[in-house]
Chains A and B, each alone.
Chain A
Amino acid sequence: MKGFRRYLVLFLLLAIPILLISSNGWAQSKVVKIGFIGPLTGPNAAQGVGARNAFDLAIREANASGKYPFKFEMVALDDASDPATGVAAALKLVSDPAVAAASGHWNSPVALATIHIFHTYRIPFIVWGAIHPDITGFYKYPGVNRVAPTLVQENGPLCDWVIGELGYKSISIISDTSSYGEMNLKAFRPMAEAKGAKILSVDSVTVGTTDFRPILTKVKGLNPDGLYFGGVVMEGALIRDQMEKVGLKKLFFAISGIKDDKFLEVAGPSGEGVLTIKPGRPIDKLEGGTRFVRAYEGAGYREPFGAYGPNAYDSAGIIIEAISKTGAEDKAAISKYIRGIKYKGLMGETSFDATGQTTNVMVSRFVGQAGKWVTWEESEYHKGARQLPK
């Protein structure tokens, strides 16, 4: 008898937490889980953790607003910037029946590995940070969308600006032979020609080359209005510097790969009047940006939200709106709703094209001025105090 009582006490002690958990469940409305994957550890952890915090903030705000018949819950998993780890995380999400949708990845190789899983299991998925064009443009999965502009899309605003607004019509192109350079070349050329520019020459250079004088001397003979460079910092800076050295005093403009202080350091005085762009806008220039920053700080996250925080925040917002409209059960309906969405969020109005790629391409424009990158609108070049080479 004594033994039985002891068992009873033990049983009750064990039962209390179970009862507490289940009663808690009963008291709340239905729980809908939303997956988040990103590099939470490893070399890119700063990007992943900041994005996760912003994602979490959007979900907390949705729950606190009381507008939704669900309780949203974030399931944050780590991909460690590693495709294999990312795939394991994706499989974990898709095998949880409570997960209605997910968002993920800063690293393109990881995203390229996991989107097939989300597609196979028909879980709606939004890429918040990876920028490789193939993630949407090549696979075109109906359930996979992306809120981050690809590196190729940046060429559009650059063309609009330099060729459309500033009127540089004859262009020579140099790009590097990496896949980044080749994709830029493939994207820029038709965009520039559609804007009415004439492409005088196209050259590609291997990364690590230090002497560009032969090409630049050739380009000088063609006398273009401007030189477009699709590549990264070091080659860009050396080309810019050697343009001066061979007497090619023309406009140099390039894709965001060169937007780094190192470029101006290496290019030295020749960095003056170089035009480039960078995706995204400073947070204080976004509508609702200050509110977001205040809410983020108020929520007590220790890490900064980083460059992709706004992307993750809107990504969560899009998923929440879709689920609230279609319910959490019909995954195909959620995917369909997201593809057709016109979402007014932190980054402005986001909608997706037929491949699932965001059409909301925000870029900031920069010009090299006195050894610094200055936003175009605030620069002396825009105000007319300094002149771009013509």
Chain B
Amino acid sequence: MNFLSNFSNRELNIWAHLLIDVGVAAYYYSKVWAISGGGLDANLMELVRVVVKIIIFTIVFAIIIFGAINLRGEEKPDERDYRIEAKANNIAYVTLVIGVVLIMSQLFLNELGMAYWNMDQDNFITLTPVVIGHLLLGALILASVAKSISQLVLYRRDVLAVGNA
């Protein structure tokens, strides 16, 4: 536990966020894969059950982990925290835009491929509304992960620079 003292509460909070994001994504997509039998087009009612489970698990986990972190004492964010958060938000925004553009281009490529290049539908991911929903959720999670990672890198970069000075 001693190594945790090297991290500020803010960094630990970000690590917890990252853990939740990755955990939720791994659980959600593994369940979707299992329900749909190796694809993304899962039954909606079963999906709702998975989502409710995830929401309950996330709330309980968040209460426990954020409570434990803040036992060390609450830290008010200062101007550097806001500046780092703004940079991380920029990176997350770019990641989200790239994700959405990739999904949109897949939609167009599907249509173009089938209409003009006589390609078989098997060559593409079948983009039903549910599949598009999964992909958009993936883009959102990816953006959130990108935000957490960039915040952690920006915080650690300063600390490591001091250590090397």
Q: Is B truly associated with A?
A: no
Interface residues of A (CB under 8 A from B): none
Interface residues of B (CB under 8 A from A): none
